[in-house]
Structure 1
Amino acid sequence: MIDKIQNNDSSKKYSFDEFIDIIRILRGENGCPWDKEQTHESLKTPMIEECYEAVEAINNKDISNLREELGDILLQIALHSVIAEEEKEFTINDVIDEVAKKMIRRHPHVFSKEQVANTEEVLERWESIKKEEKQEESEIESIKKVPRAFPASIRAQKVLKKAARAGYGVNTYEEALEKIQEALHDMKTLREEPSKDEIDDKYGSLLLGIVNLSIFLGSNAENSLTNATDKFINNL
C-alpha cells in the first residue's frame, strides 16, 4: 500500500478506502508528527473552519473551491474516525453505517409505504422520528439539547422554532415586533453607567427578539446579517 501511495503518478485516482489508508499511514509509526499529535479536542477548531470555508465557496459560487473544501471536511471526518479506530471506539465504516441507517429511518415516505403531502410534513415527520430516536420526552428537553457550539443566531433560531412548536413565545408577526419595541425601551432606560451584565442582558434580549422576527419573515437570520454586512463593506 505504501509503495502504491508514494507513486507520484498524477493521473492516478484514489479510492475512498485508499484515502483512509493514507490517514492511517500519516498517524502511524513513521507518519507525520503533526498528524500523530492530533486528538478529537485539537481538531475542533479546524472542523469549524473547514465548514465555514465550504460555505464561503458556496456563497461565491466557486465550484472548484467547493470541491477542495469538501475534501478538507472529509479529511476532518477521516482524522476523527481513524483516531477513534485507534482507541477502539468506532471506525469510518461505523460512521457510514449509522448515517445510512438514519437516512432510511427518517425517510419512511421513501423507504416504506408511509405517505406525506409536502415538504412541511416531511420536516415534521423528521423531527418526530428524531425525538423518538433520542428518547426526548418533551419539547423542552429537545430545546435544551440544541448545541451551544452553534453560532449564536443559528442556535437562537432553532431554539425559538422549537419553542413555537411547543406553544411558547409569541404567535404573530405583530407580537414579535412588540417584543422588539419592549427590548428597545429597556435599552433606552439603562442607567448612565450600566454594568456589562446589564448591557449583555438588555442587548441580548433585543437580539433574540430580532432573530424571532426573522422566523415570521421566513428569513434566515445568519444569512440576512451576513448579506447586510457584505452590503455595508461594499458601500465603503
Structure 2
Amino acid sequence: MGTAKNTLTVVGLGAGDLDQLPYGIYRTLKQASHLYLRTQEHPVVTQLATEGVTYESFDAVYEQHDAFAEVYEEIVERLLTKAAQEEGIVYAVPGHPLVAERTVQLLLENGPARGVDIEIGGGQSFIDPLFARLKIDPIEGFTLLDGTALAAHQISPGLHTIIAQVYDVFIASDVKLTLMDVLPDDYLVTVATAVGVKGEERIDTVPLFELDRLDHFGNLSLVYVPPAKDERVAYRQFSHLKEIVAVLRSPDGCPWDREQTHQSIRKNLIEETYEVLETIDDEDPDAMCEELGDLLMQIMLHSQMAAEEGYFTVDDVIATLNEKLVRRHPHVFGEKSAEDSEEALANWQEIKAQEKAAKGIDVTTQSQLAGIPRDLPALMYAYKLQKKAAHVGFDWDDIADVYAKVDEEYRELQEASEDERAGELGDLLFAVVNVARFLGLDPEEALALTNTKFKKRFSYIEQKLQEAGRSFEETDLQEMDKWWEEAKHHAKGRE
C-alpha cells in the first residue's frame, strides 16, 4: 500500500488481536515511516511493539481537554500539519477507519483544503465479531450510535442497537440515563469489551439500572440493546399510537371509531380541552397526564381521517408545527434577538404578518378585529374584541368611565322590556369584561374562580344536610344561608 508526500493513509487495527489483522494492513503498519495512533490501548499495538514497531500515540491529548470534540480537532490538526511536512505517514485507529471514528471523518472533511489526500486503508470493525459472538442477524434491523453523544430520540426500541465508544463509567452513566428515557429500568442490556480478543473479552448482561456499575469499560467497550418486545416500551412510542389509531379506524377496527367524521367528534375536541383545563386548576399532574392523552387522541383521530381522505397525515401536522415554531422564533433559531417577552412577541407578530402576505392576504384591508376564532366562548370573544379595538385607540380613557358604563348598562337592563332584556344583559356583560381588561384580569379565569368557589360552598351545604340526614325539601333558605356563611368562614380560615 503505497504512500506519497501529502498523503495520509488511515488504517484500522481491527477488533481483535494481531492474528485477526489482514496481512495488507499488517505490512502497512510495519513499513510506515511515521506511525501515529489515536490510542495505544489496543491488543494489536502491544503485539506490534514486541516486533519493534515504533509509534506515537495521541493518548495524552485526551488528558488535555474536557470535551471529545476538542480532542478530535487537535488530533486532526496535528496529523494534517505533519502530513504536509513528512512522507509515509500512517494513522491507525481501533476497528475500521469509517466506523465510529470521528477523527477520520474530520480528516476527510479538512484534508483536501489543506493539500493532503486521505487514503482509507481498510480494517475490520467491531461489528462483525460482535454479531458473531451475540448471534445477531443484522438483517432484522440494527442501529449504531455514539455513546459520547447519545440522545433519546435516536433510539429505536424495535431494532438491535449498538452503542459504541463507551470508554468509561462516566459515559456509561450518561448512556444509562438516556436509555432510561425510553426503556424500563430493569431492561436487560449487554456490555461487551474486547470482543474476540483472547484473554481480554468480557461480556456481561445486566439490568439497565446496573449498567454503569460494571468495571471493564475501556476503548474497546460497547453496549448492546436487544429489540424490545415489552408492551411497556411499545406504549411509549409515538409510532405505536399512530398504528393503534389506524387500526381503530380500519375495517377490522372499532365500529364506533369507523363511523366518526370531523363534524361528529367536533365537540369532543372542546370537551377534552376543558377537561385538561380542569386538571390544571386542580393542580393534579396525574390527571393532567391522562387528560392530555385524551386531547391528543382527538388530534390523532382528525389526522387519521384526513390521511384516509388524502389531505394530510399526523406527520404533516408535526412538520407544519415544527416549521412554524422555528420560523416564528428567529431570536432563538435565527439571527434576530429578543431581550424580553415584548420583543419576542413583536417578532412573532411581524412574522405572522409576513405569513399572511405570502398567502395573498392584504392585512391593510383586513378588519382590525379579524383573527379571533369565532367559536370561542362569548366571554373570551368579547375580551379579545376589546383588546384588538383598544390596540388602535378605540378605548376608554379612565377606568372610572368603565365603571360608569357598567352602572348605565345595569340601569338599562332594569328598565328594559322583555324583548330587550337579552340585548341589555349582553351589553352589561360586555361592560363588565371591559372592567376586567382595565384591571389586567382575564374575565374567563375570574368567573371560573367564582364558579369553583360557588361549587365548594354549595357542596358544604349538601354535606351539612347529609350529616343531618335531611334533604333539600326538609330545609329552608335561611338555614342554607347560615351554612353558606359557615363555608365562607372556613374558606377564609384556610387562607
8 Å CA contact 2:436–2:443 kept in 1: the answer is: yes
Query: Is the CA contact (8 Å cut-off) linking 1:50 and 1:72 kept in structure 2?
Result: yes
Q: Which residue of 1 aligns with 2:412?
A: 186
Distance 1:206 1:138 in 2: 32
Equivalent residues of 1:109, 1:115 under 8 A apart? yes
Q: Which position in structure 1 is the counterpart of 2:375?
A: 149
CA distance in 1, matches of 2:309, 2:397: 49
Structure 1 counterpart of 2:232: 11
**1:34 Cα deviation from its structure 2 partner:** 0.6
Any gaps of 5 or more consecutive residues in structure 1? none
With 216-225 and 179-188 compared, the bigger mean Cα shift is at 179-188
Instruction: Please state which structure has a larger fraction of its residues in strand.
Output: 2
**Based on CA coordinates, which of the two structures has the bigger radius of gyration?**
2
Give the secondary structure class of the aligned counterpart of 2:396.
coil
Q: State the superposition RMSD in angstroms.
A: 2.1
Tell me the secondary structure at the aligned position of residue 125 of structure 1.
helix
Name 1:102's counterpart in structure 2. 324
Residue identity opposite 2:314 in structure 1 = I
1:114-151 Cα distance to aligned partner (Å, 9 max, x none): 22232233223323332332335149635233122111
State the TM-score, normalizing by the size of structure 1.
0.87
Where does 1:44-193 land on structure 2 (aligned, <5 Å)? 44-134=266-356, 135=361, 137-138=363-364, 141=367, 143-191=369-417
Q: Distance in 2 between matches of 1:178 and 1:136?
A: 38
Q: Is the 8 A contact 2:273 2:295 kept in 1?
A: yes
Q: Does the residue aligned with 2:369 lie in a helix, a strand or coil?
A: helix
- Structure 1 residues 162 and 138 mapped into 2: Cα distance closer, same or farther (>3 Å)? farther
Which of 264, 269, 275 is equivalent to 1:42?
A: 264
* Structure that is richer in helix per residue: 1
CA drift of 1:205 comes to 0.9
Contact conserved, 1:180 with 1:210, CA < 8 A, in 2?
A: yes
Over 3 Å counting, the alpha-carbon distance change for 1:45 and 1:215 in structure 2 is same
Q: Distance in 2 between matches of 1:139 and 1:115?
A: 30
For 2:347 and 2:404, the matched residues in 1 are separated by 32
User: Does the Cα contact within 8 Å between 1:131 and 1:142 map onto a contact in 2?
Assistant: no
Unpaired runs of 5+ in structure 2? 1-157, 159-228, 459-495
**CA 1:118–1:11 in structure 2 vs 1: closer, same or farther (change >3 Å)?**
closer
What is the identity, as a one-letter code, of the residue corresponding to 1:48?
Answer: I
Distance 1:222 1:167, change over 3 A: same
Instruction: State how far apart, in whole Å, the 1-side matches of 2:388 and 2:323 are.
Output: 25
Q: Match for 1:108: what amino acid?
A: P
Contact 1:104 1:111 in 2 (8 A): yes
Q: Return the structure number with greater relative CO, CA threshold 8 A, min gap 6.
A: 1
CA–CA distance in 1 between the matches of 2:408 and 2:370?
Answer: 25
Q: What SS does the corresponding residue of 1:141 show, helix, strand or coil?
A: coil
Please list, as runs of the form range in 1=range in 2, the aligned pairs for 1:16-35 lying within 5 A after superposition: 16-35=238-257
TM-superposed CA distance for 1:204, in Å, is: 0.5
Q: Are residues 99 and 23 of structure 1, via their aligned partners in 2, closer, same or farther at CA, if it must alter by over 3 Å?
A: same
Q: Residue 66 of structure 1 aligns to a residue in which SS?
A: helix
- Conservation of the 8 A alpha-carbon contact between 2:369 and 2:389: yes
Deviation at 1:44, TM superposition (A): 0.7
**How far apart in 2 are the matches of 1:117 and 1:217?**
26
CA contact (8 A) 1:139 1:162 kept: no
Cα 1:146/1:139, change in 2 over 3 Å: farther
Contact 1:136 1:142 in 2 (8 A): no
Instruction: Name the SS of the counterpart of 1:52 in structure 2.
Output: helix
Q: Indicate how the Cα distance of structure 1 residues 66 and 234 shifts in structure 2: closer, same or farther if over 3 A, else same.
A: same
Code of the residue aligned with 2:391 in structure 1: it is R
